[in-house]
Structure 1
Amino acid sequence: MTRSRAKAPTDRTRLRRLHDKAAYDRDTIHAILDAMPLAHVGYVMDGAPVVIPTLQWREGDRIYWHGSAASRSMKAGKGCPVCVTVTLSDAMVLARSAFEHSVNSRSVMVFGQAEWVTDPVAKAAHLQAMVERLFPGRWPQLRPMTETEVKATGLLSLPLTEASAKISAAAPGETDAEADKGWPVWAGLLPIAFQMGVPIPAPDLPPGTALPAHAARYRFGEKPE
């Protein structure tokens, strides 16, 4: 089944195989980016590819990620081509042949020139947006950021003008060839779910400090209803 009739925004975002897994519409791309804050950013540093894990967040049709202003990766991304990948794993697919084993997943790839945010007021506002996207209502409760902290934080952004999604969602037994369906081995899906553990408080919390709702209810990786 074709997931999106929209055309790929550029040639490098177009899926060249398994076209039915491709999605180029903004709603699908936004949903995946919003569901998984952990991203991997590919840079070229000293002539070699380097992939760094980081947190990403979306504001409209643009994603942001941050790090130390002094880090090699942040400096390497400033004004340079990068590739940002976000992936959610939904199930391991066990088939009756090794060839047809796979993973049900949702992923987004974003290409472009990373843009460096320099204005301290804008930078602070974007960092606030990151915290509020992850933990709504937490920012006003925090000790305000200092000018030194804002200056020490590097912030890169990327427009979603070159982005595509790939969605694998095979049903149990769907990947098996007809000739394999009588083979006597278990086949099906092993679902993968992200589960938050019991919150662990800091040992020096003042007595009576309650667990906030944004922490108690935090979830990520969930499929939209």
Structure 2
Amino acid sequence: MKEYSQSKLNRVKRGHNRASYDVDKINNILDAGFIGYVSYIYKGKAISLPMAYGRKGQEIYLHGSRANRMLTSLLDAKEMSMTVMHLDALVLARSGLHHSVNYRSATLFGSVEELSEPLEKDAALFCFMEHMMKGRWDGIRPMHPEELERTLVVKFTIETASAKIRDVGVADEPEDYALPVWAGLVPLQQVALHPISDDKLAKDVEIPAHVLDFYNANKL
């Protein structure tokens, strides 16, 4: 089992019994999501924004406009952190202070650099699209060179990380278990609904297999 080494930067202090530094477990959390919360500093102000991402190995790819304030700030800093979280259940206890949630979260730290070589950018955007939906890249038109030139692609190399996971039931005070108050879990999940075709779609264009595969894998 490969783990990230612990340091003051990534060590989980509160709820350390829920912490994990296992690389595979952290990658599984990343692969189950598509949106990460990226933190950065702009003119002395701390800002956090959601960003779509792709992962390959220990590299995370982000992209946006060349005028994107967040990406240019990250490149100036040459480092970043990002958190991905999945909410799995509401934990309803017998007292207000023992209400909680079940979740899986991963926080990443590492270095940032711009990808400028066209083949590298193309490979990074392929990774991004395949992370969003496997098979999508081959079902769309190729990018025009000028589109690629206008796009800022950033590679975030994960140098250290930690996960925090709660996947247990209610934890009430011993004297409260006899109270006539309902307690338990309300499981939550993100699901896909049936694809809706664009109203400007050309005639006879059917929903492609990769879209239906994604729907069938993620529907209720």
TM-score in terms of structure 1 length? 0.89
Separation in 1, partners of 2:165, 2:5: 15
Q: 1:7 to 1:124 in 2, by over 3 A?
A: closer
Q: Which residue pairs with 1:18 in the alignment?
A: 15
Measured against aligned partners, the alpha-carbon deviations of 1:121-180 in whole angstroms (never above 9, x if no partner) come to 201111012112322222222111011111111122222221111101122x3x112121
- Count residues in correspondence: 216
Q: Which residue pairs with 2:187 in the alignment?
A: 191
CA RMSD of aligned residues (A): 2.0
The partner residue of 2:136 within 135, 138, 144 is 138
Preserved CA contact (<8 Å) 1:112 1:158: yes
Q: Give the AA of the match of 2:16.
A: H
Is 1:45 the counterpart of 2:75 in the alignment? no
Separation in 2, partners of 1:5, 1:158: 20
Other structure's SS at 1:13 match: coil
Preserved CA contact (<8 Å) 1:79 1:113: no
Measured against aligned partners, the alpha-carbon deviations of 1:70-120 in whole angstroms (never above 9, x if no partner) come to 111111010423210101000011111111111100011011232221222
Is 1:68 the counterpart of 2:73 in the alignment? no
Other structure's SS at 2:202 match: coil
Separation in 2, partners of 1:5, 1:148: 41
Preserved CA contact (<8 Å) 1:70 1:152: no
Separation in 1, partners of 2:108, 2:76: 15
Is 1:154 the counterpart of 2:152 in the alignment? yes
Q: Percent identity?
A: 35
Q: 1:187 to 1:123 in 2, by over 3 A?
A: same
Separation in 2, partners of 1:207, 1:186: 54
Measured against aligned partners, the alpha-carbon deviations of 1:196-222 in whole angstroms (never above 9, x if no partner) come to 112110112222212112212326x98
Separation in 2, partners of 1:61, 1:5: 13
Preserved CA contact (<8 Å) 1:79 1:116: no
Q: Which residue pairs with 1:203 in the alignment?
A: 199
Q: CA deviation at 1:8?
A: 4.1
Q: Which residue pairs with 1:105 in the alignment?
A: 103
Preserved CA contact (<8 Å) 1:13 1:164: yes
Q: Which residue pairs with 2:54 in the alignment?
A: 57
Q: Give the AA of the match of 1:105.
A: Y
Q: Which residue pairs with 1:166 in the alignment?
A: 164
Q: Which residue pairs with 2:116 in the alignment?
A: 118
TM-score in terms of structure 2 length? 0.91
The partner residue of 1:178 within 158, 174, 189 is 174
Q: Give the AA of the match of 1:208.
A: D
